[in-house]
C-alpha cells in the first residue's frame, strides 16, 4: 500500500510539475523568435494585406462569405486543414499532432452596419458597412499566428485549433459555433481584442469577471386608442409605458446591492404619430446587464413583472420579448485565473511587464463569454492608440481607425500563448 501510494504521489507530482507555467526566462527565446518572424517585412506586409482586403469588404453577422473564403484560401496556401462551414460561415482549422492537449485561438469575423467616414485608400467599399470593431485585424492576427505555428508544427506538443467565428456583433456566433461539436475537445481558448483605449502594443486583461453578461428586451403595451380630447373613453398606453420606464430604473437604484454592478437601460420608444390622438399601442425596449451570471435572470424576471404590472394598473396589457431565439442573454465573460496568469507571463516576456496592464471591469458584453462557459478561457486587449494616425477613436465609431503596427505583436502573442500552453500541459503517454 505504501509503495503504491508513493508511486501515485510521485506520478501526481511529476504531472503537477509538468503543468507549471514556464518562467519568463524560459519564454524569452520563444517570444523573441515569434515576434522577430512576425515583424519581417514580407510577413508584416502579408498580414496588412489580409487585413485590408477584409476591411474593404465588411460583412455583417452570418453573411461573412467573402471573409470566410479568404480565410480558407490562406489556410490552404499554408497547408492547414480546416472544417467549413461551422455555424454557416465559420471556419475551424487544426495544426499539430491531433492529440491532447488542445488549445484554441479565436478571431471574430463580422463587421457592423456603420458607414465608414475615414477617408483612406482602403476605406470600406460596401456602403453602410464597416469594420468598426477591429474584427478584420483579429482575423489577420490569427492567420498570422497560423503561419507562425505551421512553421513549428512538428515541434508542437499537442493540437492547436483556430476558430474563425461569425456573428459576434449581437448574433451570439460563439454560441452557435459551440453547437456544431467541432470544439468539443478543446481544453482552453484564447482571444485578443484591439482596444483604442491603450497605446499601441500595450496588453490588458484581468482574472475573473471582465465584461458583463447582457440581454435585450422589447415590450408592447396594448391599450385602446381614440381622440385625445376624450381620454376617459380610452386606455392610454403612452401613460402606462411612461410609468413602466420610470419604474424600471428603480430595479437598480432600489433593489440591487450597491456593491453589485447591474444596468437597465431603455433605448427606444415607439408610439403615436399625431398630437391629438391616443394610440392603440406603444413599443419600447432596451438592455439589461450584470457582472454576475446570477444577476441576469433576476433582472429579466423583474423587468417582466414591472412592465406587466404597470400596464395592468393603467388597464392595459403587456407582452415582452427577451430575444431568447438569438441565444440571449450573453453570459459574463469570466477569465480563468490560471490561464490569465499564463498569458500575462507570456505577454510580459513579449512586450515588457510595464506594458501589461490590469483591465477594468466593464458593462459592455462580448460573446466570447460563451466559450468561458464551455472551457477555460481568457481574453486580452491589445492597444492600438496612436494619436498621429488618429487611431484613438472608440470602438463602433464611423471614425474608427487601426494602427497596423500592432498586428505582429498580436500574431506573436497568439502563437506564444498557444505553444507555451501545450509545452506546459503536455503529459507523455
For residue 350 the three cell numbers come to 513579449
Judge whether 193 is annotated as a binding position.
yes
CA-wise closest residue to 343 among 427, 426, 410: 410
Judge whether 135 is annotated as a binding position.
yes
For residue 416 the three cell numbers come to 506564444
Beta pairing partners, 417: none
Provide CB contacts within 8 A for 1, sequence distance 6+.
none
Judge whether 396 is annotated as a binding position.
yes
337-351 vs 24-38: helix crossing angle, rounded to 10: 60
Q: Within 167-294, where are the H helices?
A: 173-180, 237-255
376-385 vs 102-108, strand pairing mode: unpaired
Judge whether 74 is annotated as a binding position.
no
Q: Is the peptide bond before 315 cis (omega within 30 degrees of 0)?
A: no
Spatial distance between the Cα atoms of 207 and 204, rounded to a whole number of angstroms: 11
Judge whether 122 is annotated as a binding position.
no
**Integer distance in angstroms from the first to the last C-alpha of the chain?**
24
235-262: b (≥16 Cβ within 10 Å) or e: bbbbbbbbbbbebbeebbeeebeeeebb
Spatial distance between the Cα atoms of 378 and 83, rounded to a whole number of angstroms: 24
CA-wise closest residue to 411 among 2, 122, 55, 33: 33
φ/ψ region of 174 (left if φ > 0, alpha if ψ in -120 to 50, else beta) reads alpha
Annotated binding site: 133, 135, 169, 193, 396
Annotated binding site for Mn(2+): 133, 135, 169, 193, 396
Amino acid at each position: 500500500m505504501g509503495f503504491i501510494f508513493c508511486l501515485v504521489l510521485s506520478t501526481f507530482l511529476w504531472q503537477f510539475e509538468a503543468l507549471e507555467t514556464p518562467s519568463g526566462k524560459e519564454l524569452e527565446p520563444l517570444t523573441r523568435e515569434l515576434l522577430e518572424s512576425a515583424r519581417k517585412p514580407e510577413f508584416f506586409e502579408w498580414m496588412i494585406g489580409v487585413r485590408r482586403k477584409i476591411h474593404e469588404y465588411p460583412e455583417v453577422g452570418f453573411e461573412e462569405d467573402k471573409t470566410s473564403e479568404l480565410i480558407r484560401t490562406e489556410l490552404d496556401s499554408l497547408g492547414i486543414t480546416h472544417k467549413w462551414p461551422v455555424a454557416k460561415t465559420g471556419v475551424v482549422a487544426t495544426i499539430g499532432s491531433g492529440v491532447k492537449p488542445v488549445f484554441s485561438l479565436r478571431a471574430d469575423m463580422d463587421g457592423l452596419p456603420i458607414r465608414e467616414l475615414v477617408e483612406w485608400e482602403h476605406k470600406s467599399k460596401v456602403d453602410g458597412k464597416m469594420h468598426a470593431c477591429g474584427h478584420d485585424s483579429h482575423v489577420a492576427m490569427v492567420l498570422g499566428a497560423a503561419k507562425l505555428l505551421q512553421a513549428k508544427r512538428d515541434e508542437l506538443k499537442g493540437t492547436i485549433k483556430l476558430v474563425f467565428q461569425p456573428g459576434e456583433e449581437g448574433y451570439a456566433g460563439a454560441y452557435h459555433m459551440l453547437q456544431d461539436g467541432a470544439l468539443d475537445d478543446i481544453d482552453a481558448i484564447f482571444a485578443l481584442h484591439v482596444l483604442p483605449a491603450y497605446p499601441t502594443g500595450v496588453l490588458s486583461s484581468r482574472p475573473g469577471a471582465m465584461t458583463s453578461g447582457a440581454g435585450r428586451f422589447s415590450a408592447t403595451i396594448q391599450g385602446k386608442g381614440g381622440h385625445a380630447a376624450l381620454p376617459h373613453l380610452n386606455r392610454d398606453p403612452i401613460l402606462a409605458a411612461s410609468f413602466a420606464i420610470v419604474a424600471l430604473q428603480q430595479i437598480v437604484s432600489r433593489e440591487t446591492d450597491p456593491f453589485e454592478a447591474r444596468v437597465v437601460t431603455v433605448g427606444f420608444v415607439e408610439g403615436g404619430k399625431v398630437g391629438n390622438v391616443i394610440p392603440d399601442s406603444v413599443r419600447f425596449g432596451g438592455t439589461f446587464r450584470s457582472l454576475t451570471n446570477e444577476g441576469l435572470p433576476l433582472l429579466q424576471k423583474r423587468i417582466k413583472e414591472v412592465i406587466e404590472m404597470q400596464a395592468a394598473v393603467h388597464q392595459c396589457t403587456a407582452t415582452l420579448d427577451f430575444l431568447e431565439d438569438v441565444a440571449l442573454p450573453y453570459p459574463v465573460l469570466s477569465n480563468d485565473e490560471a490561464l490569465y496568469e499564463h498569458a500575462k507571463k507570456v505577454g510580459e516576456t513579449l512586450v515588457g511587464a510595464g506594458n501589461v496592464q490590469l483591465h477594468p471591469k466593464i458593462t459592455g458584453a462580448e460573446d466570447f463569454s460563451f466559450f468561458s462557459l464551455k472551457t477555460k478561457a481568457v481574453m486580452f486587449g491589445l492597444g492600438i492608440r496612436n494619436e498621429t494616425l488618429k487611431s484613438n477613436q472608440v470602438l463602433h465609431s464611423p471614425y474608427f481607425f487601426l494602427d497596423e503596427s500592432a498586428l505582429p505583436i498580436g500574431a506573436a502573442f497568439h502563437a506564444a500563448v498557444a505553444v507555451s500552453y501545450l509545452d506546459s500541459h503536455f503529459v507523455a503517454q
